[in-house]
Amino acid sequence: MPKCTSRDNGFQTQHLKGSWLTRGAGHSAGTTSGEDPGRSELPCLGARCLQCKETYAAAEDEEEDEIEMEVEDQDSKEPKKPNIINFDTSLPTSHTYLGSDMEEFHGRTLHDDDSCPVIPVLPQVMMILIPGQTLPLQLFSPQEVSMVRNLIQKDRTFAVLAYSNVQEREAQFGTTAEIYAYREEQDFGIEIVKVKAIGRQRFKVLELRTQSDGIQQAKVQILPECVLPSTMSAVQLESLNKCQIVPSKPVSREDQCSYKWWQKYQKRKFHCANLTSWPRWLYSLYDAETLMERIKRQLHEWDENLKEDSLPSNPIDFSYRVAACLPIDDVLRIQLLKIGSAIQRLRCELDIMNKCTSLCCKQCQETEITTKNEIFRFAWTIAQCRICASHIGWKFTATKKDMLPQKFWGLTRSALLPTIPDTEDDISPDKIILCL
């Protein structure tokens, strides 16, 4: 009986991790040593031999499987590449599109707590302004332009009312906004005013009336910001209070030593709870620094490139920054605006971040959206909801290979709704109870 001698069918494979070795250029038509002599075999048909082809294909599959396994092992050993971003993340918040030659004002205008001033209301501003949040405006209406000009000559302060929806006619709360940058220009004979304002103080609306020129005037009550003492202030030594005031960046060796000492003390700050009838974990639930650290850990899960240096160190400013940046609806944001204590505000924000599992389209509430940028170097594409086709945001792709990230999404807060799972008790969405 002839043997397969075709080079096309010849193979030599070796199992890398197994115990068998196969070599040869075909199969024999007769019996070989170690085989059952009573077993008959068909004659080899050379290039048309099905048995040789099956053996050759099986060997090829084994080789491919081993190569894939080796590649997977190598990939698993490679370190995970960090998500690198090399553009200026402060560019979007600087609002440079309004112009770089704006007239800037210095100083701050603050009203006394519980005072009742009368402040003009800027019309057609439908947003929830949070203290510390920047409000860029480009005004065309002659009424608005005249109003801003009058404000520049006075205290540069106007009121922004907090409406939970467009259909709401009366607002109960709001925020004062102070103009800190201003510019006038003309475009085809039309006077345009460009303004940068910043949120200052929360207020409650007492009375709202309209003047003969159409400008609304709001009589408001300035809401105070309640600053609570440390949870362990009643039991810790008063002589240690001076050590709590430590510079954020130590400049001298003495400051560095004091800073390191205070860091060690902070780790055992709740040891004094042993002198009270309450456990230490209960005090940590209402400690501002502990709440800030827990929120920072949550923020790092959302954005691994988050820089803590860009976040405020003051609990009040930090709570307002989180309230302004959270992708929540206006109803929840107004609830955060009503709270007059940074600790309670931080607890509510942490509760929202723990409960919010995903983001969905605000219009149809069906499409789930899972979980900065030098915008002029990115191309953009409009993003729409897959079900209702409502506008959700934009997809930005880098126009140059050296830009990182190569693509990212810019989603509008007004088009998103946080998905908070329903509890056992049926509660309407506008009466969501937050953890205080």
Give the pLDDT score at 265: 64
Which among 5-19, 222-236, 288-302, 348-362 has the top mean pLDDT? Answer: 288-302
Is 70 exceeded by the pLDDT of residue 432?
no
Q: Which of 351, 345, 362, 363 is CA-nearest to residue 419?
A: 362
* Residue 322 scores a pLDDT above 80: yes
Both tokens of residue 275? 């002198």
How many beta carbons lie within 10 A of that of residue 389, not counting itself? Answer: 12
Asked if residue 5 has pLDDT above 50, the reply is: no
pLDDT confidence bin for 174, thresholds 50/70/90: very high
Query: Which of 247-251, 264-268, 349-353 comes out lowest in average pLDDT?
Result: 247-251
Question: 52 Cβ partners below 8 Å, 6+ apart?
Answer: 4, 9, 26, 27, 44
pLDDT of residue 8: 42
**Residue appearing with tokens 């099986």:** 58
- Residues 436, 433: Cα–Cα separation, whole Å: 9
- For domain 96-222, give its CATH number from 3.10.310.30, 2.30.130.40, 1.20.1250.20, 1.10.10.10: 2.30.130.40
Per-residue pLDDT, 7: 40
Domain 238-246+270-355: CATH class, spelled out? mainly alpha
pLDDT the model gives residue 188: 80
* CA–CA dist 6, 47 (Å, integer): 7
**Once rounded to an integer, what is the mean pLDDT over residues 152-168?**
84
Which residue is associated with the tokens 């899960």? 301
275-288: average pLDDT:
81
Helix locations, 231-368, DSSP H: 253-267, 280-284, 288-302, 315-325, 330-338, 342-355
Q: Which of 90 and 303 is assigned the larger pLDDT?
A: 303
Digit-coded pLDDT (tens) for 389-411: 888 888 888 877 777 778 888 88
pLDDT for 338 beyond 90: yes
Q: Is 221 helix (H, G, I), strand (E, B) or coil?
A: strand
pLDDT surpassing 60 at residue 364: yes
Which amino acid appears at position 338 of this protein? K
CB 171 within 8 A of CB 163: yes
In this model, does residue 37 exceed pLDDT 50?
no
- From 330, 391, 395, select the one nearest 361 (Cα to Cα): 391
pLDDT at 315: 92
| Least confident piece of the model among 49-63, 254-268, 290-304 | 49-63
Q: What pLDDT band is residue 250 in, cutting at 50, 70 and 90?
A: very low
At residue 42, the pLDDT reads 42
CA separation for the pair 325, 97 (Å, rounded): 21
Residue 98 C-alpha from the chain's centroid: 25
Per-residue pLDDT band at 75 (split at 50, 70, 90)? very low
Instruction: Say which residue, 283 or 345, is predicted with more confidence.
Output: 345
Q: Which residue has the higher pLDDT, 61 or 176?
A: 176
The Cα–Cα gap between 233 and 239 comes to: 11
Of the options 3.30.67.10, 2.170.150.20, 3.40.640.10, 3.90.700.10, the CATH number for the domain spanning 358-419: 2.170.150.20
Q: pLDDT at residue 100 above 60?
A: yes
**Is pLDDT above 70 for 98?**
no
Whether the per-residue pLDDT at 366 is higher than 60: the answer is: yes
In the sheet that holds 378-384, the strands lie side by side as: 378-384, 391-398, 407-411
Q: Percent of the chain at pLDDT above 70?
A: 60
Strands 190-210 and 216-222: antiparallel
pLDDT of 61:
52
pLDDT at 45: 43
Computed over every residue of the chain, the mean pLDDT equals 72
Of 190, 189, 184, the C-alpha closest to 98 is 184
Helix (H) or strand (E) holding 103: strand 103-104
In the numeric block, the tokens 């019309």 are attached to 123
SS (H, E, C) 402-421: CCCCCEEEEECHHHEEEECC
Domain borders along the chain are 96-222, 238-246+270-355, 358-419
- The more confident residue out of 28 and 241 is 241
> Which has the higher per-residue pLDDT, 240 or 138?
138
Task: For the beta carbon of residue 220, count every other beta carbon within 10 angstroms.
Answer: 26
**Structure confidence at residue 259 as a pLDDT band (50, 70, 90):** low
Residue type, 203: F
What percent of the chain clears pLDDT 90, i.e. is strictly above it? 19
Report field, pTM of the whole predicted structure over 0.75: no
Give the burial class of 90: count Cβ atoms within 10 A of its Cβ; 0-12 exposed, 13-18 middle, 19 or more buried.
exposed
Angle formed at CA 28 by CA 22 and CA 34, multiple of 5 degrees = 65
Please check the confidence at residue 201 and state whether its pLDDT lies above 50: yes
- Are the beta carbons of 283 and 229 closer than 8 angstroms? no
